[in-house]
Structure 1
């Protein structure tokens, strides 16, 4: 006798009418509403759309670990991430699923090996010093554009070393920013898709994407014919070979991967650096402690890589900043097959969202969750963060550039605090949760330190 199919059951449901009444405000800034709904309906809640479509949102560590780690093979990135992003960025690590993604990950992973990242530290340090050498002093300045420019140039110099002129890079940066802004519109306002097509906005941004691909393709072709060694990421990616065929990546695939590295690798870091600068400007004691630690590290060695190892408190400040303001603040997955998560039995194609922002502030897992306390990430206390802290995602799809980003952020914050005193009168930052969590008008005053 056939086994009777188990009935589907979902967590407490947010009424659809309530959801629709607040839909426009939620689109503009979902974060306050997520907090309200979690507090009302529990750490995982659901919304039913139509007869058979469910959305779940969670800040429960068991749910997060289950879909991202324990049963990740049944949970693919949703079409929201893959369809919209791949249209402009191509099919690479960030946008692919399944066997193709796994093949690409295995191919590219060695280029991000720790030893390879160590070799890029000199390029990073050079770019950081150039960008932060003369910041505006004696006035309040929005720190995000500064950090955005810095992070873009670090990715550019690490990818292409000195082989691309400044005007070309500026054009590439402009294109990437324009595409990202439009992407957010498409994702947030799907009901306006017809208008975006009719008004030519989709075509315009597809043309911009084509222009950026052409720029990157030109750099790749030039490098292929060059006999020089550049010791950058492009050299490393050109040297990679597929295990099964021994073949290199095609130029088209290289363009896809590099486009994604630019997008994923600079804005997330820029956000984290901006929020970290703000938190240090608010907490003068923590800032002083970073200054003293950096000063001591510089006394012991001139080697940037060795200095990074001597800056545990600086690293803890960055970790705590990414707890409070995770750049990748939310992610989602869709299950390929029916599944059971804890007490819930869910049908296939359920959209399961994970709010890292809320998980990182969930009072079940964090003491004084709204407080900036870098000490959480030092010594024995660091163990308390295991399983509830995911600034780079989790599982096999954890961010491939994590080591790169941490080096860059530690070097940038160390240089910033060594050379400037930071202060701010801003009580609470304004957030703009787009694809990444962006700050709005994060005003900081920089004052040269007496050397």
Structure 2
């Protein structure tokens, strides 16, 4: 690995400051300048950026038992505990089998009715011509859906609490990426923010558990957890599902809406597709999912251009090999959806918004040229949930509203644990005739 090309590291900190300054541009530049396997250093820790789909496939599938979660996620246990996102080995397999039932196709189809109700309620609140932050709207709607479907309760009054807690917890991410991040995150002011966010989520999960203790029956995810796990482990899974169950989908929907506002011709095509499928007098239904290919393609293209999971990290626990690269134990491996999804070798005109690229066959494109939900045994358990919610929400909104951009509110990106809009995703809704 010592002969891999890469940017010159600085003494002591390595490439940490370059990465911290502009994570997305730095990783893109590394891949374009130095190739598909790039040597980096974060402090004294060796890092290899992998940007070829075949190497990504090997890391996530073929060699998945040679690696563990990245140091950043290992440190995140202080916040998330041993939930599905951070657990390893037999514990992870047990938890995944337990939770899989809550995300079966039959169950997700049943969730669809709640998703449609929430999307319709969201669209009802909008005022014609009044600018709105689409990200704030999708955070509210996806959190409401997660509450009703996964936890059997209403979280409508907890949106501000959860949003503030997420901001507090995500503020630790840039610190966790630094050398000695595990120690630095315990220092003020990061420690105060993390403690505040953790306490807020702990109070919410305690309330959810107490409410369920007074209700008998139920077959939602919360019931599964309380029947199987001790209270502390149930807390860890609830926090993980609460965050993962709404944050990434909210971001994807906000980015999709931003792109549609910027490309009105595509937006009108999607609205026409929804109209053709639903006719007049009714909104979209769960049965319409397979008849909305362009709507799905818009969401897929938004996930390509702005993947909420913008990078996946692993750490080699034993000596292994990825392609022709020898990986020593302890090496951190990084595969970035942001980089691979915008690689001109796999995507024609990769920076353009072109949903039609997902309507036909993928051609010669490698499987892991597109991996918004990861891969292998750790592939996102809620993928079908996210597709269903995303398609139904977009269809419901575009059946009623035309989205216009807000010129003085440009989109800025914040690549933390997830990729999210830093200052919102602003649009102006106008009634669709």
Q: TM-score, normalised by structure 2?
A: 0.90
2: CA distance, partners of 1:387 / 1:150: 30
Unpaired runs of at least 5, structure 2: none
Change (3 A) 1:255 1:320: same
Change (3 A) 1:431 1:210: closer
CA deviation after TM superposition for structure 1 residue 168, in Å:
4.6
Partner of 2:195: 206
Match of 1:335 among 301, 316, 328: 316
1: CA distance, partners of 2:118 / 2:353: 29
Partner of 2:273: 293
Match of 1:75 among 59, 67, 70: 67
Give the match's secondary structure for 1:133.
helix
Change (3 A) 1:56 1:428: farther
Partner of 2:428: 445
2: CA distance, partners of 1:195 / 1:320: 37
1: CA distance, partners of 2:176 / 2:327: 24
1: CA distance, partners of 2:187 / 2:256: 42
Conserved? CA contact 1:9–1:346, under 8 Å: no
Conserved? CA contact 2:318–2:330, under 8 Å: yes
Within 5 A, what are the aligned runs for 1:223-372?
223-229=212-218, 232-238=220-226, 248-299=228-279, 304-372=285-353
Give the match's secondary structure for 1:54.
strand
CA deviation after TM superposition for structure 1 residue 429, in Å:
3.4
CA deviation after TM superposition for structure 1 residue 324, in Å:
0.8
1: CA distance, partners of 2:343 / 2:298: 19
CA deviation after TM superposition for structure 1 residue 308, in Å:
1.4
Conserved? CA contact 1:80–1:187, under 8 Å: yes
2: CA distance, partners of 1:333 / 1:70: 13
Conserved? CA contact 1:13–1:48, under 8 Å: no
CA deviation after TM superposition for structure 1 residue 283, in Å:
1.4
Partner of 1:244: none
Give the match's secondary structure for 1:296.
helix
Deviations 1:375-434 (A, max 9, x none): 111132477463311010111100001111111100111011111111226597321111
Partner of 2:164: 174
After TM superposition, the structure 1 stretch with the greater mean CA deviation from structure 2, 96-105 or 326-335, is 96-105
CA deviation after TM superposition for structure 1 residue 172, in Å:
3.9
Within 5 A, what are the aligned runs for 1:16-31?
16-17=9-10, 23-24=16-17, 26-31=19-24
Match of 1:158 among 125, 131, 149: 149
Change (3 A) 1:165 1:15: closer
2: CA distance, partners of 1:435 / 1:220: 27
CA deviation after TM superposition for structure 1 residue 107, in Å:
1.7
Conserved? CA contact 1:10–1:346, under 8 Å: no
Q: TM-score, normalised by structure 1?
A: 0.87
Conserved? CA contact 1:278–1:444, under 8 Å: yes
After TM superposition, the structure 1 stretch with the greater mean CA deviation from structure 2, 378-387 or 57-66, is 378-387
2: CA distance, partners of 1:50 / 1:228: 52
Give the match's secondary structure for 2:86.
coil
Say which one has the larger Rg: 1
Partner of 1:422: 403
Partner of 1:57: 49
Pairs aligned (count): 430
After TM superposition, the structure 1 stretch with the greater mean CA deviation from structure 2, 39-48 or 357-366, is 39-48
1: CA distance, partners of 2:166 / 2:278: 36
Partner of 1:38: 31
After TM superposition, the structure 1 stretch with the greater mean CA deviation from structure 2, 358-367 or 134-143, is 134-143
Change (3 A) 1:10 1:73: farther
Match of 2:418 among 436, 439, 444: 436
Give the match's secondary structure for 1:16.
coil
Conserved? CA contact 1:291–1:417, under 8 Å: yes
2: CA distance, partners of 1:382 / 1:272: 25
1: CA distance, partners of 2:289 / 2:69: 34
CA deviation after TM superposition for structure 1 residue 178, in Å:
2.1
Unpaired runs of at least 5, structure 1: 1-7, 240-247
CA deviation after TM superposition for structure 1 residue 171, in Å:
2.9
CA deviation after TM superposition for structure 1 residue 437, in Å:
0.9
Change (3 A) 1:382 1:406: farther
Deviations 1:10-63 (A, max 9, x none): 521321139969754531421112222222111220024677x41111211111
